[in-house]
Structures are given as structure tokens and as C-alpha cells.
Amino acid sequence: MSGTDYGESVPGLTQVLAYEHEDGYMSDASDSTRRDFLVLGSAAGLWSAGTRLGVTDFAAEGRRSRAVTPDEALQHLLDGNARFVKGQSLSPRRSPGDFRALAAAQYPEAVVVGCADSRVPPEIIFDTGLGDLFVVRVAGNVISGAGAAVKGSIEYAVAELKVPLILVLGHSGCGAVRATLQRLDAKQVLPGAIDGLVELVEPAVTASKEMPGDPVEQAVRKNVELGVEHLRTLEPILAPRIRQAKLRVAGAVYDLKTGAVTLVEEQA
């Protein structure tokens, strides 16, 4: 494959990043040139608040790539969460200079597939800024059975934006998981589309039923694990990239009480 190419640095503070699309996907995008160019203004200004994601390094060392490995991307998330937990968030890249520079293109480091719960906003709990995360949020962070809207969003980020990491993020006390347990216990049909939604969480609840400990927390964890497993086998976009070590799919659970994110499964 052609991979990602980066243009030459323009003398001075201006840098040009060139990103080449992979052949054969999203052919309707950028059909005139098949290249997106992000012209960064002052590298120092753009990443002024950046002390993570490697961007400070790249600005300082004159590297032209913001590309990171899957493991580095995951470490950046964990480092950001550690800052958040300690009340030391940097809240990077949220100034007018940042969003103006990002208007031309995006280079997120990770896809986060998380719950719609108002208490679990990925950008805040991972202390990231604009353009850092490609976030897909749906109640119960359901993936299998969620259809093209969820899977297509994830696949778009990987195929088109070359995101190296997908993190499936569940959380303690998840209402969607709790509703699924109650629905199974009471054998009730929930109103509207809620019933169809919780049905998607049912496999996790069923698979974790015999596990010791709190049934909601066990089901939350199992739901993340099933989501990770599903994504890892998803052809034709995700699975090949995992085999080529260009993509990692990880799972984690966010603790509502502590703010801490804990990985639930390591890469197979």
C-alpha cells in the first residue's frame, strides 16, 4: 500500500503535512487530487498546549509526522486519564488557533467507542484536545448488531484517517447494561426503540451471568470484551490492519467514582 506520506517542511515555522489516501476506498472523497493537505501555521502555536501525543516532540524536533504506533496511541490515552484522575488535566488544543488550524483536516490518534452516558466524555476523561479523538458514542457502547452507522463510523476512521487504535470503552454502572439485566429478569418489553437497543447488550449479560461479583459490572466488562472481539474479526477493513500491526483494538472500563480507566483485555 502507499501508506502515509508527508510533505517537505516549509522553511520557517510553517509545516505542510500531506496525507495520501489508500487506493480503493472512499473513492468519492478528494477525487480531484486524492490528497488532503493540512497547512499548519506556526508549529509552536498549533501545539502550544501540547505536552503529549508526541506532537510537542515532533514540533521541537522538526519531524513531519504526527503518526504514532497503536501502542503509543493507547499510552497517550492512559497518560491523559492519569492526569484527569489526579486533577492535573492540561485541556490541550482548545484555543482558537487550534481549531482554525484543524479546519483543513483531521488526524485523530484513536477511535473511542463509548457509551452515550453524560458522565463519560472521552475528550475530558482522556484529557485530549480538538482533533485527537474520533468518538463514536451510543448507549451501552454496542457494536455487534448496531448496524452500519456505528461500524461504518469506526471503519471510516481506520480506512480513511488511518487511526491506529480503537478503544472500546464501557463504564461502571452502565444504565443500558442495567436495563438489559432488568429486562431479562422481569421478561418485560421496554418501550420504543429502547427494547431493541438493550437486546444488543443481551449477549454480554447472558455470557457473564455465572461470573462471580456484581452482575452489572461483570456484564459491562463482558460487553467490552465482546465488542473488542467483534471488531478484531471485522473484514475487510479492520482485521487486515490488525494482522499488519497497523491497528490495535483494546477494551477498557471507566470507573464513575474514581475517573480511572482500566484496560480489560490485552491485545491477543
The nearest distance, CB 82 to Zn ion, in angstroms, is 22
- CA 164 – CA 65 distance, rounded (Å): 14
- CA 227 – CA 250 distance, rounded (Å): 9
Instruction: Scan residues 131-190 and list those touching Zn ion (CB under 5 A).
Output: 174
**Residue 97 exposed, middle or buried by CB count within 10 Å (0-12, 13-18, 19+):** middle
* x/- letters, 55..94, toward Zn ion (CB under 5 A): ----------------------------------------
- CA 10 – CA 93 distance, rounded (Å): 23
> Applying CB under 5 A, which of residues 43, 115, 158, 200 lies at the interface with Zn ion?
115
Q: Are 42 and 13 in contact (CB under 8 A)?
A: yes
Among the listed ranges 60-68, 107-115, 142-150, 252-260, the one in contact with Zn ion (CB under 5 A) is: 107-115
> Judged by CB under 5 A, does residue 224 bind Zn ion?
no
Q: Dig out the grid coordinates for 3 from the structure.
A: 501508506
> Judged by CB under 5 A, does residue 217 bind Zn ion?
no
Task: Choose between 104 and 116: whose C-beta lies nearer to Zn ion.
Answer: 116
Q: Are 40 and 101 in contact (CB under 8 A)?
A: yes
> Applying CB under 5 A, which of residues 36, 98, 109, 117 lies at the interface with Zn ion?
117
Contacts with Zn ion, residue ranges (CB under 5 A):
115, 117, 174
